Amino acid sequence: MSEKIDEEQEFIKTILQRTSEESFITSNYLLIEESTLNFSFDDITEEDFVEILTEMKETISKVQEGYENAYMNLDRWTLEIATGDRMFREGLKEWDEGLDCLFKYCKDRDEEYINRGIKKIYEGNKKLIINQKIEEYVDEQVKLLQKEGHVS
């Protein structure tokens, strides 16, 4: 089991070396970060902030549902697929937990919830981007094999 974990960590490390740090700052991340700051400075209402958070929760739920349906048909798991799957699931979970922290901030106004929430969302975003980069990497490898005549 330890060997599999080491292999997965090496694979993730390789993917991260091919990925710029800026890739982790997506439009959804920026929307949440900006909305959180605006709310904390009373530039938007609690109602508007909660609406943004709720819409993002719904988006995550829809993405997860679509993902579950797509992956049900896989008949073969490779290191790349398993790693991508784990990154995707963990990424969505961290996004969800981060949004929960921001909802708690609405109730308690404890700034620790902002810090924890934004950090979790960033880490979740990072894992989702790693998943995307894994998919790109796998596509590249398949194209290389096709070019070399190993796969049709």
More confident residue, 43 or 76: 43
User: Average of pLDDT values for 26-42?
Assistant: 97
Query: What predicted TM-score, i.e. pTM, was given to this entire model?
Result: 0.87
- Relative orientation angle of helices 111-147 and 2-17, to the nearest 10 degrees: 90
Whether 105 has a pLDDT exceeding 90, the answer reads yes
Q: Give the CA angle between residues 110, 115, 118 to the nearest 5°.
A: 125
Counted residue by residue, the chain has a size of: 152
- Asked whether the beta carbons of 90 and 128 are under 8 A apart, the reply is no
Average pLDDT of every residue of the chain: 91
Output the pLDDT for position 66.
85
Output the pLDDT for position 4.
64
